[in-house]
Amino acid sequence: MTMQRRRFLRLGGGALAAPAFAKFASAQAAYPNRVIRIIVGFPPGGGADASTRIIASRLAEIWNAQVVVENKPGAGGNIAHDNAAHAAPDGYTMLFSPGSLPIMPLLFNGLNYDPIKDLVPISLLGVYPNLVVVSKISEIQTLQEYIARAKANPGRVTYASPGIGSTPQLAAEYFKSMAKVDITHVPYRGVAAGAMTDLLANRVDSMFNTTGSLLASVRAGQTRALAASTPKRFPLAPDIPTFAESGVPGFEVVSWYGLFAPAKTPRDILQKINQGVVQAIAEPATKAKFEALGVVAESSQPEKLAELMQAEIKLWGPIIKSAGIKGE
């Protein structure tokens, strides 16, 4: 074969491939060009739903596209997780999830998805602590008094949580092991399902939950916060002492929200989504909206979110096993 013919075939091959490549590149550059959905595994009205809508609304403005929120509550969030994990990996379906996502296989048997293999991290969205609170009419004023009451009455001090296998319940189990107390779990299906009513009436002694669910009641004087789970005082509630400074040294739980996509979503689309999130989270208006929910807005690169997922498994795995916790 002559050199001219070899050169002709190379050019011809490139010419044949060029339309396909151009079409692919054009499709990627045009993203997004249709409706994007962000799935969240909680019902409307809660902190997770509100946080999802904050980021969805701002991304819609940044991209000049329609971004809708789909609430798919149930099974501890697994309905939403499974739906997102099996969606087309084209950037038009995302998952908003709290930090409980990576520990789902430790809590539930027979899942049809793997949170590590079937979902890819995009960005962190915000961080927040868990609180333990009592009613304003409770005699308990401090965490030290709470611990003393629990030690004097093993198994008789009760605490509410938003459900079995929820991060607040895990935080309470962690607290039990570190403070060496026996308190009794009273699970609810979210704060709105009677938990707050029972707490305010002193029918349940205390509640472990997130700032998104409890900080408003603390600020309104309905409940009294005994401790926050962050290593240092939470900047949105600096008057609430930490567990560590209140008699449980080393206790630290930082919860988070993150954004995920189906595995095999093209890298350049993931990068574009990440850039949009980073831009949105950096804006003072977005930060203020998250702060109203008790969340400090914070973005990240995907690698950091992947590290946080592994940290959740490392922290909660032994606690779930030792307490024999199974999700519902």
Question: Model confidence over 15-59: pLDDT tens digits?
Answer: 444 444 444 444 456 899 999 999 999 888 778 899 999 999 999
Tell me, which fold does domain 33-128+255-323 have in CATH?
Answer: D-Maltodextrin-Binding Protein; domain 2 (3.40.190)
pLDDT value of residue 140: 97
Question: Mean of the pLDDT values across residues 297-319?
Answer: 96
pTM here is 0.85
CA geometry: angle 312, 316, 320, nearest 5 deg? 150
pLDDT value of residue 191: 67
CATH number, domain 129-246, options 3.40.50.300, 3.20.20.150, 3.40.50.720, 3.40.190.10:
3.40.190.10
CA-closest candidate to residue 119, choices 71, 166, 87: 87
Contacts of 201 (CB under 8 A, 6+ apart): 135
CA geometry: angle 166, 178, 219, nearest 5 deg? 55
On the CB side of 153, how many CA atoms lie within 13 Å of its CA? Answer: 10
On the CB side of 46, how many CA atoms lie within 13 Å of its CA? Answer: 20
CA-closest candidate to residue 83, choices 105, 52, 111, 51: 111
Place of tokens 């009436």: 201
What residue segments make up the domains of the chain, in order of their start? 33-128+255-323, 129-246
- The answer, yes or no, to whether residue 283 has pLDDT greater than 80, is yes
pLDDT value of residue 244: 96
Distance of alpha carbon 139 from alpha carbon 134, whole angstroms: 9
- The answer, yes or no, to whether residue 77 has pLDDT greater than 50, is yes
Contacts of 160 (CB under 8 A, 6+ apart): 186, 187, 188, 195, 198, 199, 204, 206, 207, 208, 209
**Tokens for 38?**
């962000």
Which has more pLDDT, 42 or 4? 42
Shared fold status for 33-128+255-323 and 129-246: yes
pLDDT value of residue 29: 65
Stated as kind and residue range, the H or E segment containing 230 is none
Specify the amino acid at residue 9. L
pLDDT value of residue 192: 64
- Cα separation values, 1 from 9, 15, 164, 171, 186, Å: 11, 20, 73, 73, 81
Distance of alpha carbon 191 from alpha carbon 214, whole angstroms: 9
Per-residue pLDDT tens digits for 239-264 = 999 999 999 999 999 999 999 999 99
